[in-house]
Amino acid sequence: MRICFLGSGAAEGSPAISCHCEHCDIARRKGGVLERKRGAVLFDLPDYKLLVDAPPDIRELLNSNGIKEISGIFLTHEHFDHVGGLKEFLYWNKQIDFFAEPEVFRRVAGKMLRQELNQVAFHFAFHPGVDIIFQDFSFTPFEVRHTVPCYGLIIYENSHRVVYAADTSNRLSNYSLTLIRDADVLILNTPFSQKRWIIHI
Ligand SMILES: [Zn+2]
Ligand SMILES: [Zn+2]
């Protein structure tokens, strides 16, 4: 699989609007790697391109990375920096799969967006710990700790195991720790970690 990090910044992005801290001012002046987009990752899997989250700048992220194909979107949680770009997909000219836990889907897709999304997307309700199996890979969603319901995923492909979790604290269930133990690649977004990030596995 190929993993493309479209964005890896914090919720407000960097430089943040109206922020004049030293970092934002330098990022505004110099740009380049100092500019950080909100978190989104594309997993390029056998016959399937899985986008994790749709931050508000998703249109620019896809265009600037030359991505013209997405098979499905996996939604981690309801916060604006992860779903603010969903409406961009109303202009997507192909069908798209939309993986979301039922409660997250209910919270994100208000009645109107739900009807609009139905035109372009198939909602696949996932449940933590229940595998979603494709021909040549599979993934398992698992619950992480955040201020709202939030899910990571473990992708299994060709004897490799890649774990991705957005916005998680370092408090994880024993079940989740078992699944991520000895992963080949562990990708974490840890804005809520108060202490050093140590996972005891
Ligand atoms: Zn700042
Ligand atoms: Zn969040």
SS3 category, 126: coil
141: exposed, middle or buried (Cβ count in 10 Å: 0-12, 13-18, 19+): buried
For 88, how many CA atoms within 13 A lie in the half-sphere containing its CB?
Answer: 18
Residue with tokens 């899985």: 50
H or E stretch covering 58: helix 58-64
3-state helix, strand, coil in the chain (%, to 5): 25, 30, 45
Joined tokens for residue 132: 């979603």
H or E stretch covering 142: strand 138-144
Tell me what pLDDT residue 130 has.
96
The ligand minimizing its distance to the Cα of 25 is 1
Distance 16 CA to ligand 1 centre (A): 6
Checking if the pLDDT of 104 tops 90, the result is yes
Distance 135 CA to ligand 2 centre (A): 31
Assess whether the previous peptide bond of 15 is cis (omega < 30° from 0): yes
pTM greater than the 0.75 cutoff? yes
Distance 14 CA to ligand 2 centre (A): 16
Structural domains of the chain, ranges and CATH numbers in brackets: 2-188 (3.60.15.10)
The ligand minimizing its distance to the Cα of 55 is 2
The ligand minimizing its distance to the Cα of 12 is 1
Please give all residues whose CB falls under 5 A of ion ligand 2, grouped by chain where several chains appear. Answer: 79, 167
Distance between CA atoms of residues 48 and 56, nearest Å: 23
Tell me what pLDDT residue 173 has.
87
Tell me what pLDDT residue 64 has.
93
Q: What is the pLDDT of residues 75-87, one digit of tens each?
A: 999 999 999 999 8
Distance 60 CA to ligand 2 centre (A): 21
Q: Which residues pair with 144 in a beta bridge?
A: 150
Q: What is the pLDDT of residues 128-186, one digit of tens each?
A: 999 999 999 999 999 998 889 999 999 999 999 999 998 887 778 898 888 888 999 99
The ligand minimizing its distance to the Cα of 11 is 2
Tell me what pLDDT residue 111 has.
64
The ligand minimizing its distance to the Cα of 16 is 1
